[in-house]
Structure 1
């Protein structure tokens, strides 16, 4: 008895290569004002943005002298969360600190 093999056709499927694209990044920016204390800004940078104390002091002075400074560059969700958290903490402390985000070129 002979076993017959069914007619088979081999098909090679080409693997589609997709490139993963990096998510767009956003800068979180602190804006200077005449009411928010420098000490609060330093504490905010340490607590929310995980800066070292020295880096936080340096950035606080940059914001104070130039009117604004970049606290960090993050993907959109993280940037939105950082803006919301920093703004909430500033309002709880009764400071008008403005924290915004903008696309990172």
Structure 2
């Protein structure tokens, strides 16, 4: 390109608009069989939470019946739910997670 020439700018119609994907909450549900220790282990392993954060969420699940584990794009939230359910079934627990749009 010669001196003084500029690259052509893309018109506003040609520019690709990027948007943030919608986010989804991963919720863990209380049950009468899954141990508190297992819930804390899963929260730490799957959601990468600290000891104190995992214990806080576990207590919310225990006392309120539901705990918010994290917020992610749909595909990641779905993968986390599947991982929790797989770990729970292997350990013999009926632990359940769900996804809710934020």
Q: CA deviation at 1:19?
A: 2.5
Aligned residues between the structures: 93
TM superposition score normalised by structure 2:
0.86
Q: CA deviation at 1:102?
A: 1.1
TM superposition score normalised by structure 1:
0.83
| Distance in 2 (alpha carbons) for counterparts of 1:98 and 1:18 | 39
Give 1:3's aligned residue: none
Q: Alignment partner for residue 101 of structure 1, among 82, 86, 99?
A: 99
Give 2:23's aligned residue: 25
Give 1:72's aligned residue: 70
Note the aligned Cα RMSD (angstroms). 1.3
Larger proportion of helix: 2
Q: Which runs of 5+ in 2 are unaligned?
A: 1-7
1:65-87 Cα offsets, whole Å, 9 max, x none, are 10001100000110010000000
Task: List structure 1 segments (4+ residues) > 6 angstroms apart after TM superposition.
Answer: none
Larger radius of gyration: 1
